[in-house]
Amino acid sequence: MDVALSVRNLRAYYLLGYFGIEREVRAVDDITLSVNKKEIYGIAGESSCGKSSFIRTIAAAIRPPLRVLGGSIKYNFLDRDLYDLDEKALADMRWKHLSYIPQGSMNVLNPVRRVRESFKDFAFPHMQLNQIQFFDVVNRHLERLHLSRSVLTAFPHELSGGMRQRVAIALATVCRPEFIIADEPTTALDVVVQKDVLALILEMQREIGSSMIFVTHDLTVHANISNRLGIMYAGRLIEEGPTRDMLREPMHLPTLNIWSPACHGSATLPRRTRCREHRRVWPSRHRVAASTRAVRWQWTFAAKPIRS
């Protein structure tokens, strides 16, 4: 089985020092996972569990005070660890091999420039075409995403939420990258538009044949789109496995907590069964409570002062 991305023991912390007090916030705390080729790996977790920090770390888009402290990130199209690349190699690799679908919020495209400028900035440098050919390709791509050509001459605030999200998807996929990271692409959309957008993402991914990491807290979306599912909590990956198995028999209480609303109270108590690929990645140190409401937070995410 070919592996598209292999992350081993990744640690990235926020190192903060303000007014004499130093703190570290463990945004990414010893994560190990791998994504196979042509697979969609879903990541779920509640807010502030470190999903976005993890995403940005594996996309090499972090700024201080977030720093990588250890571990390795290896993509199959690179010969070295991601953080061993120099600036130029990183820039070359971006968008052509590794792209990113953001949440299509109001602010995700440059508000003072028309959409076509964004396409020129993002994709044009990577495709060796002249302008006419380039916009030909872009137009055809937009059609496949059910967007009309007039989108190119519009300003971002003139588009609806769904259109903006589809433009973001178009931007990310026009260069046909091998690896796509999708960061909550459907969170801001209503359910009807969500269905369309998800279908488009799936279609694109199948057509281009890229691997994808899909982040969202919505388990119903994962049920529809992810092949495998990983649950994050407090900067750690606490559970991982094929989506169907995960949704049927979650092992850990935090998983249970984000899962039960989706099942509307028909929760069955978790049983300690194991199947071949469904591994428990984080040993549970607590008793499974009878009620899903009684949860004891054993892992703290917040600041631990090193020195005060």
Sheet with 304-307, side-by-side order of all strands: 66-75, 3-18, 21-36, 304-307
Count, in order, helices (H) and strands (E) of the chain.
9, 11
Residues that bind another protein (CB under 8 A): 14-20, 56, 59, 61, 63-65, 90-95, 99-100, 102, 105, 107-113, 117, 121-122, 125, 155, 157, 171
**With contact defined as beta carbons under 8 Å apart, do 10 and 57 qualify?**
yes
Sheet with 98-101, side-by-side order of all strands: 98-101, 179-183, 211-215, 40-44, 228-233, 236-242, 279-280
Nearest distance in Å: CB 146, another protein? 22
**With contact defined as beta carbons under 8 Å apart, do 205 and 212 qualify?**
yes
**With contact defined as beta carbons under 8 Å apart, do 280 and 250 qualify?**
no
Nearest distance in Å: CB 274, another protein? 38
Give the up-direction half-sphere exposure of residue 8: CA atoms within 13 A in the CB hemisphere. Answer: 6
Nearest distance in Å: CB 112, another protein? 5
Tokens of 112: 């003072």
**With contact defined as beta carbons under 8 Å apart, do 76 and 2 qualify?**
yes
Nearest distance in Å: CB 298, another protein? 27
Nearest distance in Å: CB 284, another protein? 33
Q: Nearest Cα to 152, choosing from 109, 181, 187, 192?
A: 109
Pairing, β 228-233 against β 40-44: parallel
End-to-end, the C-alpha distance of the chain in Å comes to 49
Nearest distance in Å: CB 142, another protein? 18
